Structure 1
């Protein structure tokens, strides 16, 4: 199969770009999404090492390279493809792009070939290559092993529902593309997400559609379709859509955490983040870190509480404020100017549970929200939400905000009386696991924390 795919794409390399309208649109969209992730990063990386799989003639490279250069990021690319003719074709394009480039033939379906690559990568990307791989989970595991701590995977693929009009006109014989649920289960760790979007591509009739399909090395449905059947299918497509077709495109994002652990945040204040943090720290054998603590005028703070409940090592807060307000307002009350850039993960590579202050949109200063800190730290998020009325809206909005930033979500913990309907709605619409449902406890002590042990 590998040799057949390489031959198919190699045969059309010289004229590929003229027929690759969908591929160009999808590459541009993926480039914009990747650029947005690094634009929002604080601090922004000065250099990146990128591995691109299935580069083809370089449409993604062409879209992404100038965007990253515009952010002031210096990039060293390893650009790969299975077909030697595609690699030869891409060389012309690379000469006009910013960055340093190495070209290499790579079979992305072979985990051993991926393992043999040199060094670690900050980003692994590929546009409309994922649907060609026979064992996606094995390839993902191999690619994840090549990532540097905090590195990202960003991919696009055709999804189930693509070319529905042509499928109706032609009948059986088209590939069975994956569904997002299938892809979601293949990530090498918690928190990856697949998003779906519909893209319509216009053609001047069915004949032009089929010409473009052949021009990118794709099959119509059979290696040698029956001419009479093909003409009949073309007439049906022309009658139904005039030759226009629709694709369902999946965009997959996953990030390797910089170290083992999670970031615990909530949909509200007083929702039970500290209890969940203590449970997770004990269950994971992790140390605990609350970088920003407010409200010290009224209580000792969450750090000594977790130390007592979980019996784990704790790191002192970097910012400690007296007023029970948002960090921005508490600092203003004390006449202090906060520096979010000073907030960093404590040294070490052991598991770590980080607890935020308040929810995602709590301001740290005039320019930084808690979600910005979560994104910078790069740990998967455990979102604590109440179980009662209103939680569906608050939880889904929080999940949407996290995923728009490409932040991994390890799961949700519901706090309060168990509610089957709310749990089902959050899992279904939020595409997330509910890790635990913790009712109001009669006692909160070390024994209770041990009894409620769970992990993402």
Structure 2
């Protein structure tokens, strides 16, 4: 059976379950809600063009409609019966088009979407990454691809019950989260994962719930167990507690302008060494420097002058901030003191052919204006992040929280730079649990001057090598 015929058979099975689907779909409902929460944080334009793959009965559509408001919706499913069920439900605001479609092969769609999304449907693709690549090709510049799918170890308890009975469960070979990468360049993003444990009354109710949504615990083509073998498996499954784990992977990618090379330097806190890190990177990569929002100039020189001196940058490599404020406060707090009005959406990066080092103000959740945090600006600029962090006590928690916040927004992380007394244990923990590279460690310096910056810059890998490594990592590049 070829891929399209296989997908059509899956669609027919789901179609037969359309009328009872939502009564048996608590995990699907939870995944749709979590994915919608992540999507609501994206920098989407007003009334975005949205394509949903595998809309089913409308779980994700309804969650998104409550959060996004009016949009131009194209809602698709491989099952016409599912589409009809969704059509009978509450319609989202804006224009709505329904289309029966094999989402793995979206040949008939025009493209130009601001958001392509799917919740617990793409795991049925015969070739997940190739299918995601075809979907990503339909994005408008700056558009987002956001999916929830099943990852390895889903239904681990069911497989364990079979193994104890000496049998093969035949469950699908779901991928590791880090292996989920759309087969398309010019994408920046990441995959995060979580485990959702669902408790069932017993094994029969687990199977009934799967049948109720049109699914099975076994891969297509796997031969069902005989009655005696199934009874042994169910008895063992019940003894284990009759619970199953859904390993959910959430992928968020943005179609970026690959012509802009550079990074956004942010930190786990204020006073964390972002300016020194920016100077080292600018020197190492012969890059331009830009601080979009500068505060605190009443008490100390602006960071642009500091970086110019430390990195020995000529004037043409420096770009003026979009906003300069006197008080050493967040931009949002400093602006009213000067009757200034800030709008993060007006901040546009400078036009340069050189690599660009962009330095943020404070950490990820420093407010810029009434509606936007620093992380919103990072997402809109579409650049990978270098995260500045301390080396000492507390850095593991602060760094991992920052990395999780970036992943939830689909923002790729080039790496972490740690400052302070060397701490091999903290470095190992950040690399292992944060699944990220530590690009450099900056020890305490007797003098912070151009000579020290030049020496530290020699230890930084070339930007092209770092970006190439990112493209092949689970955090970003062509996948995430």
Taking structure 2 as the reference length, what is the TM-score of the superposition?
0.77
Deviation at 1:101? Answer: 1.3
Aligned to 2:450: 444
Q: 1:326 to 1:207 in 2, by over 3 A?
A: closer
Deviation at 1:277? Answer: 2.6
Q: 1:60 to 1:432 in 2, by over 3 A?
A: farther
Aligned to 2:473: none
Contact 1:291–1:355, Cα closer than 8 Å, also in 2: yes
Q: Following the alignment from structure 1 to structure 2, what is the Cα–Cα distance between the partners of residues 361 and 107?
A: 36
Deviation at 1:342? Answer: 6.0
For residues 35-89 of structure 1, the C-alpha deviation after alignment (integer angstroms, 9 at most, x for no partner) is 5543x567x632112222334x343454345324xx4332232x344x4xx0354
The yes-or-no answer on 1:263 pairing with 2:261 is no
Please report the RMSD computed on the Cα atoms of aligned residues, expressed in angstroms: 3.6
Q: 1:22 to 1:417 in 2, by over 3 A?
A: farther
2:347 to 331, 344, 347: 344
Q: 1:360 to 1:220 in 2, by over 3 A?
A: closer
Contact 1:279–1:449, Cα closer than 8 Å, also in 2: yes
Deviation at 1:374? Answer: 3.3
Deviation at 1:123? Answer: 1.4
Deviation at 1:307? Answer: 4.8
User: How do residues 123-134 of structure 1 correspond to structure 2 at under 5 angstroms?
Assistant: 123-134=115-126
Deviation at 1:135? Answer: 3.6
Aligned to 2:383: 379
Q: 1:289 to 1:104 in 2, by over 3 A?
A: farther
SS in 1 for 2:264: strand
Contact 2:420–2:442, Cα closer than 8 Å, also in 1: yes
SS in 1 for 2:49: strand
Contact 1:375–1:407, Cα closer than 8 Å, also in 2: yes
Aligned to 2:216: 218
The answer for unaligned runs of 5 or more in structure 1 is none
Q: 1:353 to 1:236 in 2, by over 3 A?
A: same
Aligned to 1:197: 195
User: How do residues 297-316 of structure 1 correspond to structure 2 at under 5 angstroms?
Assistant: 297-307=298-308, 309=311, 310=313, 313-316=317-320
Q: 1:58 to 1:166 in 2, by over 3 A?
A: same
Deviation at 1:253? Answer: 2.4
Contact 1:27–1:63, Cα closer than 8 Å, also in 2: no
Q: 1:28 to 1:148 in 2, by over 3 A?
A: farther
Deviation at 1:385? Answer: 0.9
2:143 to 141, 144, 151: 151
Q: Following the alignment from structure 1 to structure 2, what is the Cα–Cα distance between the partners of residues 166 and 32?
A: 25
SS in 2 for 1:192: strand
Deviation at 1:265? Answer: 0.8
Q: Following the alignment from structure 2 to structure 1, what is the Cα–Cα distance between the partners of residues 435 and 332?
A: 33
Aligned to 2:437: 433
Higher mean C-alpha deviation, range 231-240 or range 22-31? 22-31
The yes-or-no answer on 1:87 pairing with 2:80 is yes
User: How do residues 34-433 of structure 1 correspond to structure 2 at under 5 angstroms?
Assistant: 34-35=36-37, 37-38=39-40, 40=41, 45-55=45-55, 57-64=56-63, 66-68=65-67, 71-77=68-74, 79-81=75-77, 83=78, 86-94=79-87, 96=89, 97-98=91-92, 99-106=95-102, 108=104, 117-171=109-163, 172=168, 173-183=170-180, 191-203=189-201, 205-215=202-212, 216-218=214-216, 220=218, 222-241=222-241, 244-257=243-256, 260=260, 261-281=262-282, 287-307=288-308, 309=311, 310=313, 313-328=317-332, 330-331=334-335, 335-341=338-344, 343-346=346-349, 348=351, 352-364=356-368, 369-433=373-437
**Would you say how many aligned residue pairs link Structure 1 and Structure 2?**
440
SS in 2 for 1:47: coil
Q: 1:60 to 1:88 in 2, by over 3 A?
A: same
Q: Following the alignment from structure 1 to structure 2, what is the Cα–Cα distance between the partners of residues 349 and 54?
A: 41
Q: Following the alignment from structure 1 to structure 2, what is the Cα–Cα distance between the partners of residues 296 and 183?
A: 45
SS in 1 for 2:404: helix
The answer for unaligned runs of 5 or more in structure 2 is 468-480
Contact 2:278–2:359, Cα closer than 8 Å, also in 1: yes
Taking structure 1 as the reference length, what is the TM-score of the superposition?
0.81
Contact 1:258–1:379, Cα closer than 8 Å, also in 2: no
